[in-house]
């Protein structure tokens, strides 16, 4: 059983702590809705840091492969995650200010931060909204192309009417 990691986020940032490990894709429950299957692992690194104004931050890095579902043919679609982000740790007031700034994203500082939930948010926010195979690789598109090669029954009727 995979132990769900929690951190004291401000302490983690202040002391430059680091987590560098792998997590099974199956460990992300909300992600399952957009996945074809839960095979594989994701590698992530969480590094306590601060920005150039000395504000506490977490540097998040996630990489690995997941299997999304193609929105055209509904078959598995390999997707490579390479995501890096700096998240400033804020109180609620600062978080509102940050939303206008838009240089960095902020999250609420939390003494019991659920690391997997944080990673999952980052993954979900950065996935394509409507993932699809490239047209040559998509099974639906190939089926449609074959159809187009044949005479459509209604097209035949049109020809008959014109005679
Ligand atoms: Zn497809």
Q: Are 1 and 23 in contact (CB under 8 A)?
A: no
* pLDDT score at 102: 65
Lowest-pLDDT range, 21-30, 53-62, 98-107, 131-140? 98-107
Q: What distance in angstroms lies between residue 140's CA and the mean position of ligand 1's atoms?
A: 6
Q: What does the domain layout of the chain look like in residue ranges?
A: 6-132, 133-163
Instruction: Retrieve residue 152's tokens.
Output: 């459509």
Radius of gyration of the chain (CA): 23
Rounded to whole angstroms, how far apart are CA atoms 119 and 122? 5
Strand partners, 80: 65
pLDDT for 106-160, tens place per residue?
Answer: 999 999 999 999 999 999 999 999 999 988 889 875 556 565 555 555 555 555 5
Instruction: Retrieve residue 140's tokens.
Output: 């639906």
Secondary structure class of 58 (helix, strand, coil): strand
Q: What distance in angstroms lies between residue 116's CA and the mean position of ligand 1's atoms?
A: 29
Q: What distance in angstroms lies between residue 95's CA and the mean position of ligand 1's atoms?
A: 39
pLDDT for 60-79, tens place per residue?
Answer: 999 999 999 999 999 999 99
């Amino acid at each position: 059983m995979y132990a769900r990691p929690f951190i004291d986020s401000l302490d983690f940032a202040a002391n430059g702590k680091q987590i560098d490990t792998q997590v099974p894709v199956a460990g992300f429950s909300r992600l399952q809705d957009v996945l074809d299957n839960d095979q594989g692992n994701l590698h992530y690194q969480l590094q306590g840091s601060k920005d150039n104004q000395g504000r506490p931050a977490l540097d998040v890095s996630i990489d690995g492969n997941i299997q999304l579902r193609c929105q055209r043919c509904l078959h598995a679609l390999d997707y490579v995650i390479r995501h890096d982000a700096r998240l400033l740790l804020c109180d609620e007031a600062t978080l509102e200010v940050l939303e206008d700034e838009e240089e960095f994203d902020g999250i609420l500082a939390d003494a019991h931060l659920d690391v997997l939930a944080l990673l999952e948010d980052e993954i979900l926010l950065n996935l394509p909204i409507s993932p699809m195979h490239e047209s040559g690789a998509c099974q639906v598109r190939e089926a449609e192309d074959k159809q187009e090669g044949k005479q459509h029954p209604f097209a035949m009727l049109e020809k008959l009417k014109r005679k």
